Structure 1
Amino acid sequence: MEVRQTFIEFLEVIPDGAIVINRKGLIIAVNQAAASMFRYSSSSMLELHLNQLLPEEVRERHDQHLATFFKHPGRRSMGNGLIFSAIRRDGSTFHVDIMLNQLELEGELYGIAIVRDYTLQKKAEDKIRLELEFEKRQALTDHLTGIMNRRAFTAQLQDEIEQLTEHGTPFAVSFIDLDDFKDVNDEHGHHFGDEVLQKIAQLLRLHSRHTDYVARIGGDEFATIHPMISANDAQQMMQRMRSELVSGIDHAELPVTLSIGLCQCDKPSEHYTIEDIMARADKAMYQAKKEGKNAVVLTN
């Protein structure tokens, strides 16, 4: 009671919520701001254990933190990342920002927590985070087809090169060109041409493995990355994929075929580069065109 009387007037001057606890974690003093924040009356919070203001799943871990806090005197400032998920009397949860300090009175050590409702700031931070994530996705996504763009593709290709160099993990890269696409734009217009590109992108995603990467890297040029695959499996997979794509193209009545150059990368000591791999796949693609189009040519 004496401790409560000592603190009560001081606590009410503080604009933020303020909670004083003893070593056992029991609340011995609280101001109206904190009581309102947690939807209690000031008197009903007294002698509550601090854990009752926290979600059940974190209480045991918090007990350990509390013991450490009293064992090692110090303070933690507001805004230093000490954000807690808290629970109100009605069971609803919200986020709080907490500043901790210790006070010694008549030989007894107490903890005082200055508490701010972090709800609005948390919502603002979440909104900013989602906006940044959206912008990042947009920066790595082809705006027309919704698949990876050239920037995202080259970044992923660099990762695959590093995996091959460090761990010997093979992969294959395809370069896909739409045969006679210029005629499509000339005869049917660019709007129809865009629809063709979108459909091809959908078919590529549909018939790729879930571990593969599909990108549009130019006007009518697509590319794929196929991690952890041998040269023989890569060629068989791409032939099967081309067949499925041709079937889908015929079904959608799209006036194009596909010439595909496939580059197998499986030699860790070869020091592959993005430019070298793309040049090899591009050369193989042009070889496919020379051989009559609508074909797959493998190189390594």
Structure 2
Amino acid sequence: MSVSIGDVRRAAERIAGYVRRTPVVEVSPGLFFKLEGLQHSGSFKARGGFNRALSGGKIPEAGLIAASGGNHGLAVAYVARSLGVQAEIFVPTVSSPVKVAGLRALGARVTQVGAVYADAYEASVKRAAETGALDVHAYDQAEVVAGQGTVGLEILEQTGGVDTVLVAVGGGGLVAGITVALDGQARVVAVEPELIPTLHRALEAGRPVGVEVAGVGADALGASRAGEIACEITGTAGIRSLLVSEEAIVEARREMWREHRIAAEHAGATVYAALLSGAYTPAEGERVAVVVCGANTDPATLV
């Protein structure tokens, strides 16, 4: 396996002084929300960003570079500002204006290019070759996956143990990292929008394959191809991916605000949609953790 439990534990030690230990809230008996929207930059992505930046010695003079639908870019921009280096972020035109404004507020140089993440990524690779900046991949780097896996370690510690962890998937870095971190101590279930079945199709094919990207989750879960690392880890572990409808995601996001006063972007509500829609039905007495992965959204749209 390309990422080990030891890698995740070392990542937890490396980034401890840089990231928040986000809270877990038991919203009903046996149902826990891990609130990664309260992480620096508004999503879990800062974990992988810091681990990548701090793993390789001195950061190049050109700083950090990344392609992102928004959340990863915000995280890399935050990491760069925290470490006193430059960040250059490439985002697709579908990215939320809230996220683009946030990138600029963090001092990043922002380039919007292409319709989807893959276009932005291609442009970022070309630019990194020109400048020598340290590339921080959104999901398909071992250091990034290990950093995201620290979410899983915290869930185990904060809940005292759960049976199942539900994780939303874009490129698969978070679900891969959590799968490694849990190391058989809990079941991991992936959840994806029906309009972006990236990991679902990869697991069917046994390898990453291209998918069309559309829908309300596209700005955060809009990877058109799952990562090699995620495919290896989830395939070996026998992870299954559930698909949820656009309507279910929109309603779950509203419900999270209405009933729990938790602000989530659509990606952050995708997992809860699986529970509300019946795509995942816990057994009696099953303890379930929901990773609310991001909160970078316009508050005016929550009602």
In which range does the TM-score fall when normalised by the shorter chain? under 0.3
- Relative contact order, CA 8 A, sep 6+: which one is greater? 2
Which structure: larger Rg?
Answer: 1
Give the structure with the higher percent strand.
1
Q: TM-score, structure 2 length as denominator?
A: 0.22
